[in-house]
Each structure stands twice: as structure tokens, then as C-alpha cells.
Amino acid sequence: MLRRSLMWLSREAIIGLCGLVFHRVFISATDWSFDSVMPALASPVTLQLFKWSLGTVLILPQSILLGMTFPLVSSAVLRMDSSNAGHDISALYFLNSLGAVLGVLASGFVLIPAIGLPGTLMAAGAANVMIAIVAYFTSKGLPARLDVQRIPAPRDARGEEKALLLPLLAVAFFTGLSSFVYEVGWIRMLSLVLGASTYSFELMLASFILGLAVGSLWIRSRLDVSAEPIRLLAVIQVAMGLLAAMSIPIYNGSFDFMAWLLSAVTRTDSGFVLFNLTSTLICILVMLPTTFCAI
């Protein structure tokens, strides 16, 4: 448990430090690129490769560390009590997704207008450092070692072990793949309705993640009591595909609605609020039914 606590501490601390110094590193890297590297690259292919490589170096390390959050928290919770694993994992995913929704909205509508992009990054970095400190002191009150209850592998009528792992991993892979294909498609489509502003992107992103959060909240009380979870998974996947198809007519109807809204809303602060609330409603109608099933 101490090793996991130190892993959590170091992970959050490193993410926080990256956030605190990212703006300076970004400015130095882009100045170096425009002044020294890009003028020397004659080929469009090498220029694109350099841009991709630079972007990867700047954000991939933090992204990898962020990807460790949910597995680490899930492991800690299951090691304390694994009797309701489905309920607990779903609750964690709901809280994680809800935090992401609030983070998107807070950064776009509050922090960036108030303290700018550098200040927003530093605020997030400081929050990660605080999380690391809190996690460290919290872990000191836990037992030195916590073991997960071993669940036997499912067996068929003849008592032979069912080979479910690979099919379930494939379902997880392709569900994630299709979900983010939907996201990219919806964002490009809705940009034609809402406009290509940063506010519109933030509302679309928040609506997409909100669907994941609501879906995980709904499923948490049903996972551990479901007699046939594989069949439930199949039903949800079929529903996800049908609901994605149904988003097309809803999207088509949103053009006329937005045209009416733009003609009716005045260009004032209250009009801006009403426009964003209506944009959020459109995003939710298009995205949420499908993303509700994506979890």
C-alpha cells in the first residue's frame, strides 16, 4: 500500500509541476521551433512530422500520468472493499467524469477569462500538487497491505472455464473507438450549428462527458445485481448504435432552431447566457442519449 501511495503522490506531483511550468516550456519550445527548426525544413512531410513530434513531447507525458488516475483509484477502492465492485467502479467513473465536466466549464467560462491560459494551467497544477499532499497523508491512515478478494473465473455447464477475457477486452476497445468517432463527428457537425468558437467546443465536450457520467450513475445500482451482465452489455451496445443513428434527425432539426434563436436573442450579456444554455441543450439532445450507453 505504501508503494501505491508513493506512486499516487509522485504521479500527482509530477502532473502538478508540469502544469506549473508548462507555459514557459511551451513558449520556449515554440520560439525555438519558429526561429531555428521550421525555416530549415523544406519538405511539408518533415514539417508535419516535426509538429506532431513536438506536440507529443509537450503533452504526452502528462497524458500518460493522467491515464493512471482511474486505475489507481479503482485499485485502492477494491483493495479496501471488493464486495460491490460494479457499484464502486461505476460510482468512481461517475465522479471522475462529473469532475471533468465541471473542469471543462470552469476553465472555459471562469478561469481563462479571469486569469488567462497561463494562470489557468498554473491553477490546475497547484490543485494537482495539493491532491498529491492530501493523498499522501490520507494513505498514512490505511493498512500497510490490502488484498483484493479473488473472484473465480466463470465456468460453463461442464465446469470448464469460459474464455471471456479476450471478447470483453475487444468490446471495451471497440466501444472506446466508436465513442470517440462519434465525438469527433458530432463536434464537427455541431460546429456548423453552434459556431467554431472555443465556448462552443467547451459546451460540446462537457455535454459528451456528461453523458458518460450519467450513464455510469445509472448502471452502478444494476451491475452487481444483474443475473446476466453479458446480455445487459449486448442490449446496451445495440441501444447505443440505434441512439447514434437517431441523433442525425435531431441534428438536422437543430439548424432551424438555431436560426430562430439567433434572430430572437439580443446581443447582450443575458442574450449570451441564453445562447449558451440553448447550445448546451442542443448538444445534450444530440450526444447524451448515445454517450449514456457508451459507459
Distance (Å, whole) CA 207 – CA 213: 10
Asked whether 199 and 109 are in contact (CB, 8 A), the reply is yes
Q: State the Cα–Cα distance between residues 162 and 222, nearest whole angstrom.
A: 23
pLDDT band at 99 (very low <50, low <70, confident <90, very high): very high
Say what the pTM is: 0.84
Average pLDDT over residues 13-28: 90
Range scoring the smallest mean pLDDT among 59-68, 69-78, 94-103, 144-153: 144-153
Q: Residue 42: which residues within 8 A CB-CB, separation 6 or more?
A: none
pLDDT band at 244; cut points 50, 70, 90: very high
Least confident of 39-48, 66-75, 109-118, 135-144: 135-144
For the purposes of burial, counting CB atoms within 10 Å of the CB of 271, is it exposed (0-12), middle (13-18) or buried (19 or more)? middle
Collect all residues with Cβ–Cβ distance below 8 Å to 242 and sequence separation of at least 6: none
- For the chain, count helices (H), then strands (E): 9, 0
pLDDT of residue 143: 57
Surface-to-core class of residue 248, CB atoms within 10 Å of its CB (0-12 exposed, 13-18 middle, 19+ buried): exposed
pLDDT band with cut points at 50, 70 and 90 for residue 10: confident
User: What is the rounded CA–CA span in Å between residue 38 and residue 30?
Assistant: 10
Closest Cα to residue 179, out of 284, 293, 91?
A: 293
| Assigned C-alpha cell, 208 | 459528451
Torsion of CA 206, 211, 213, 216, to 10 degrees: -170
Q: What is the mean pLDDT of residues 53-65?
A: 91
pLDDT at residue 4, rounded to an integer: 54
